[in-house]
Amino acid sequence: MNTVIKSSSLALAIAGVCLTAGAAYASSHREAPFITEAPKVDGTDFYMFRSYESGRADFVTLVANYLPLQDAYGGPNYFDLDEDAVYEIHIDNSGNAREDITFQFEMQDIFKDIQLNIGGKMVSVPLKNIGDASDNANVQMRQEYRVTVIRGDRRTGSRQTATNVTTGTDTFAKPLDNIGAKSFTDYGAYANQHIFGIAIPGCSTEGRVFVGQRKEAFAVNLGEIFDLVNTNPLGPRDGEGAGDLADKNVTSFALEVPTTCLTGSAETTSGDPVIGGWTTASLRQARVLNPAPSAAGKGASVEGGAYTQVSRLGMPLVNEVVIGLKDKDRFNASEPKDDGQFATYVTNPTLPALLEILFPGVAVAPATPRNDLVTAFLTGVPDLNSPVGVTGSEMLRLNPNIPATMAGAQNDLGVLGGDNAGFPNGRRPVDDTIDIALRVVMGALTNDAPNKDAPLTDGVQLDPTELQVVFPYLATPVAGSPNS
């Protein structure tokens, strides 16, 4: 059945946004000390929403972004992923804070030494491609990947390999990054050739998958925000320009899955299903550097040992602006079932107090402990996306029974703007999680906050026409050339 959120539940929903954003000022880009040393496995954003492409109402789209702040011109290697890592999207459909389904992606480098005859000697070229990059014959280095579906514990559960319906194999090709207009005459068309049908074990209907570079959709002025929020919180929503990420790219793992393949026993009191989701990336425990690397880019290091989680992302902004600096690496290595260890950051958050200092008379920090935030943050929102008997844990939660709002009608303030198909009921690329959280932390849904009706903003707003209205939804990445 479809759910209409009640006003009391809406207050809890927005309180939950306040918590997860801690008055949110950026998504999870370079959010913990260790992850700055391993950008290829740095999870930046996670989107989970009911598909709104025409004819795809029975699907849920999952988009996990990694490798932040990509400058399009970053050659000659650009932004390949780590073939020694595992990238994962986890689904909890029973409400017990443990993964029931994991979609695991593993990359593989495909190297071909391209040489030219220079004065009678065959010499290897220094560039990734030597001609039309849409033709693999002209490409020295590209990547493929496999998708494994794990049911139960991600390390010990049953494992089955997904099949590429388009090719009939168990491998999928990742497009090269958008090198530029001379290497690609039509990068959008080239990238679309890497959207594949995927046969997911246990699902009777095939889904779709795409792994590749996309234009960053998160709108924020990172520099101003981390300079003690050097913005005008009462200015126009688009008054601060395009934002620091407007010319950046990111790498997306996009997966469209039949809804019935994701839902389980978790239900709201009204009987609606609820799925929880989060992303991780893991590296091998050991790395030995080779002082004399071999040819073809191999042998610079040897990886070994068990996989160790180094990145985690569910709701946006949590590790970046909620978790204390000393615990950021620990949060990235943690699992939702153990989130009680971070409870103080929820009941006694620091960001509202910091905002009160930065904006006296505008921001008033609510009294602690914030037990209201504990309820919304760890269990989902009653009457919207909170399962009965849920185990408290931090993750993005979605009620897929709420109909998708079509692209042209979406409100980027999500539930706060009356659009129950948006954040915090899942998250769509258009959802402005920063403005939502700013308004809530100032008391938008209270009865007595002095500025509860103020249209607070960070001054940066995504133009929704930048997004695609079809899978994988995020826009074609910025080209490395020509550079205007």
Helix (H) or strand (E) holding 354: helix 351-358
Residue 229 lies in a domain: yes
Question: Pick from 29, 25, 18: which is nearest to 328 by CA?
Answer: 29
Q: What is the pLDDT of residue 296?
A: 53
The domain total for the chain is: 1
Lowest mean pLDDT of 27-36, 277-286, 424-433, name the range. Answer: 27-36
pLDDT tens digits, one per residue of 416-473: 899 999 998 999 999 998 888 777 776 665 566 566 677 878 889 999 999 999 999 9
The pLDDT-based confidence of 376 (bands split at 50, 70, 90) is low
Distance CA 348, CA 288 (A): 42
| Most confident region among 188-192, 315-319, 331-335, 411-415 by mean pLDDT | 188-192
Q: What is the pLDDT of residue 431?
A: 95
Q: What is the pLDDT of residue 225?
A: 76
Alpha-carbon distance values, 299 to 230, 272, 288, 290, 344 (Å): 46, 52, 10, 6, 45
Q: What is the pLDDT of residue 375?
A: 64
Residue 168 lies in a domain: yes
Lowest mean pLDDT of 12-21, 95-104, 215-224, name the range. Answer: 12-21
Q: Is the pLDDT of residue 109 over 90?
A: yes
Residue 374 lies in a domain: yes
Q: What is the pLDDT of residue 372?
A: 61
**Which of 265 and 298 is assigned the larger pLDDT?**
265
Residue 72 identity: A
Structural domain span for residue 182: 35-466
Q: Sign of dihedral through CA atoms 14, 20, 25, 28?
A: negative
Q: What is the pLDDT of residue 3?
A: 38
| Most confident region among 29-38, 236-245, 267-276 by mean pLDDT | 267-276
Tokens standing for residue 31: 């959010």
pLDDT tens digits, one per residue of 155-174: 999 999 999 998 999 999 99
Q: What is the pLDDT of residue 107?
A: 98
Residue 5 lies in a domain: no
Q: Is the pLDDT of residue 388 over 50?
A: yes
Q: What is the pLDDT of residue 19?
A: 33
Q: What mean pLDDT value characterizes the chain?
A: 87
Q: What is the pLDDT of residue 469?
A: 98
Are the C-beta atoms of residues 424 and 315 closer than 8 Å to each other? yes
Distance CA 169, CA 172 (A): 8
pTM, 2 dp: 0.91
The pLDDT-based confidence of 223 (bands split at 50, 70, 90) is confident
Residue 299 lies in a domain: yes
Gyration radius (Cα) of the chain, Å: 22
Q: What is the pLDDT of residue 443?
A: 62
Residue 106 identity: E
Q: Is the pLDDT of residue 16 over 80?
A: no
Residue 111 identity: F
β-strand 196-199 against 248-258: which pairing, if any? Answer: unpaired
- Taking each helix axis from N to C end, the angle separating 351-358 and 433-441, rounded to the nearest 10 degrees, works out to 80
Residue 282 lies in a domain: yes
Q: Is the pLDDT of residue 71 over 50?
A: yes
Distance of CA 123 to the CA centre of its chain: 41
Residue 253 lies in a domain: yes
**Which of 296 and 383 is assigned the larger pLDDT?**
383
* % of the chain beyond a pLDDT of 70: 89
Q: What is the mean pLDDT of residues 103-107?
A: 98
Helix, strand or coil for residue 258? strand
Residue 172 lies in a domain: yes
Helix, strand or coil for residue 395? coil
